[in-house]
Amino acid sequence: MSKNDEINIYLVRHGEAGKSWDEDRDPGLSDKGKEQSRKLVSRLNDDFALLNFKAISSPLARAQETAIPLQEKHGFDIEICKTFAEIPSPGIEMSQRSAWLKEMFKVKVGDLESPQQKWRSSIVHSIQDLREDTIIFSHFMVINCVVGWINNFDNLVGFYPDNCSITKILNHNGKLELTQVGNELSTVVQ
């Protein structure tokens, strides 16, 4: 990559999941989520016609399923990368996951526990290390890590990306610039 090269990075939040976070550790998409992922194809069609993208997905079903319609249209391979999986919640019982996640919305980055600190650091370094235009199918908290790091947010969550929102970033030799924030949720779960 030369000094003037810019890498386009698109962070796509998965479509609506078929089950909540405290019901299933790896739900697929709901019918609405499948429709959202089909609509994503037309929203990204012009970008894919102009650029040659590498595609990466979280290993979780809802992220992989969100990529399928775009993959079928453009015939690209998808690299599965655990770095872009949802925030780790080790030792948290399934029934407690929703309450734990709501608390994470209030946590300051400096107060994250070790598993979440390592997860966040890995995401940021992986984004900085990209050397080709890339689309990443991922999750709410992953997108917040990147947007928060770029904007130097104190809190882990400072942005509420909607399902199938597209957040665009430019990588200038490891320096990240947010060029488009994805659509935000119209209602936020409290």
The domains of the chain are located at 7-180
Class of domain 7-180: alpha beta
pLDDT at 187: 58
How do residues 125-139 score in pLDDT, each as one tens digit? Answer: 999 999 999 999 999
Compute the distance between CA of residue 96 and CA of residue 17 in angstroms, rounded to an integer: 18
**40, 66 contact by CB (below 8 A):** yes
For the chain, the distance separating the N- and C-terminal CA atoms, rounded to the nearest angstrom, is: 44
Dist CA 148 CA 154 (whole Å): 8
Strand ranges for the chain from DSSP E: 7-13, 54-57, 78-80, 134-138, 166-172, 175-180
pLDDT value for 13: 97
Is residue 3 pLDDT above 70, yes or no? Answer: no
188 falls in which pLDDT band (50, 70, 90)?
low
pLDDT for 50: 62
Please give the share of the chain, as a percent, with pLDDT higher than 70.
Answer: 94
In a 10 Å sphere around its CB, with 0-12 CB exposed, 13-18 middle and 19+ buried, how is residue 128 labelled?
middle
Rounded Cα–Cα distance for residues 148 and 47 (Å): 25
Task: Work out the average pLDDT over 105-121.
Answer: 95
Check whether 190 has a pLDDT greater than 50: no
Q: Would the pLDDT of 151 be above 80?
A: yes
Confidence of residue 2 (pLDDT cuts 50, 70, 90): very low
Average pLDDT in the chain: 90
Tally Cβ neighbours within 10 Å of residue 42: 11
